[in-house]
Amino acid sequence: MKKILFIFSVVFLGVFSSCESDKSLPKSNQEENLGDLIVPNDFDWKTTRTVTCNIQSSVPTVIYIYNAVTCDEKGLVAIYHPIANKDNAFSLKLATHLNEVYLKYSDVVVPVKIENGMLNYTIPETGTRATRTIEPCNGCNENDIIYFPCLGDWATVLYEDLFPNEGDYDFNDVVLNYKRTYFLDIESKRLQRIVLEMRVNALGGTLNYYPCFRIDGVAREKVWRIGLQPQGNFTFKLGDDPDKDKDSTFRILEVNDKPVGCQFLNTLPNEKKRPKSELKHFLIVIDFLPNNMPTLGELSSLDVFIYNDDMEIHERGGVPAWTECPILGKDYYCSIRNLVWGITVPLEIKHATERTNFLKAYPKFKRWVITGGVENQNWYYDGKEEHLFTIPEN
């Protein structure tokens, strides 16, 4: 069966920027920067891992999986209906620092350890079907639902944009938030719908990059419809890109205006701030044919990256979609010293202000890097407010 590459991208005309323009700004005193660190060659720079879940049950039930003991909706990562007396294996993308999750069914909450990338649990026969409190997607019946990073939060993607050259490592040239939700058929466990949501938080450079979603591995004949639900007042165009050689490229075209008189968007503290309520915010909905839905395993990747006509930038290991990309180090998008241009964090975090040393903005980041991700796996919870940019809500 032929596999195709779906690219979903948002074009922001004349806005995405390079730290080349930052040369006019005053530089901080000489101090240790990210570029000075000795990075283990095999460090993958990932703040998440894939956990394989196997939930067994002898009775019909619904189970809720949370990333925190409070078990509130903000930390909900999955709603799953195990099929009685059958294998119920599925995967979750979870923060690396999580060593356990919390399973809730009926009125029971059970902590379950993650061991060797596996989460195994058997529901006792006394388990009963819980009352559903989460509404299913429009047009769908009751679903299994898998969230990333979780129902009530965003992931944050931080970019340097001078690839293949090293930048100033403030990681605010492009700052995105995104979240992803999978809706699966409750009986077949096949994928009915994918919902992708994105928000552009900051632009700290001058090169014209725009953000992209890539969903790789789904057969073209299984896609029923693709829709765009713009959030906010802006124009868009959805359609194929005739200039690229991929079969299915969907692009939202809009004009993004920085605040009047501002050099960047939400990176310089002394410039006008654009609140979250006015940031570019959009949502893509992909529905699959009811009689030809893919399995979750068919999705080989869901990749968020940035792109312009000459270059694209992914996290370490991301495979280029359109452009020729030099392999500088051990993998795509890492230097010979294993420095990177993109980092994803499974949490909405504040980004560093313009020309701020990232090691000062997030002090625990250094140990995470030089230990190859062994220590300080939750470094992004410990930011220093005096070096971070706060975006107002309204």
CB 141 within 8 A of CB 183: no
pLDDT of residue 6: 57
Q: Decide which of 268 and 11 is more confident.
A: 268
pLDDT band, residue 135 (cuts 50/70/90)? very low
pLDDT at 249 exceeding the cut of 70 = no
Q: How many CA atoms lie within 13 A of 85 on its CB side?
A: 2
pLDDT band, residue 231 (cuts 50/70/90)? low
User: Worst-scoring range by mean pLDDT, 8-12, 43-47, 387-391?
Assistant: 8-12
Q: Provide the residue type at 128 as one letter.
A: T
pLDDT of residue 368: 98
Q: Decide which of 394 and 215 is more confident.
A: 394
Torsions phi, psi for 379 (to 5 deg): -55, -30
User: Worst-scoring range by mean pLDDT, 128-137, 223-232, 333-342?
Assistant: 128-137
Q: How do residues 286-329 score in pLDDT, each as one tens digit? A: 899 989 898 888 776 778 888 877 888 999 998 887 788 888 98
Q: How do residues 148-176 score in pLDDT, each as one tens digit? A: 999 999 999 999 999 999 888 999 999 99
pLDDT band, residue 20 (cuts 50/70/90)? very low
pLDDT of residue 160: 94
pLDDT of residue 29: 54
pLDDT band, residue 253 (cuts 50/70/90)? very low
User: Worst-scoring range by mean pLDDT, 93-102, 130-139, 204-213?
Assistant: 130-139
Tell me the average pLDDT of the chain. Answer: 82
C-alpha to C-alpha distance for 219 and 227, rounded to whole angstroms? 18
pLDDT band, residue 256 (cuts 50/70/90)? low
pLDDT of residue 136: 35
pLDDT of residue 183: 95
pLDDT of residue 8: 56
pLDDT band, residue 87 (cuts 50/70/90)? confident
**CA proximity to 99, closest of 74, 85, 83, 119:** 119
pLDDT at 141 exceeding the cut of 50 = no
- Give percent above pLDDT 70 in the chain: 80
**CA proximity to 34, closest of 344, 367, 312:** 367
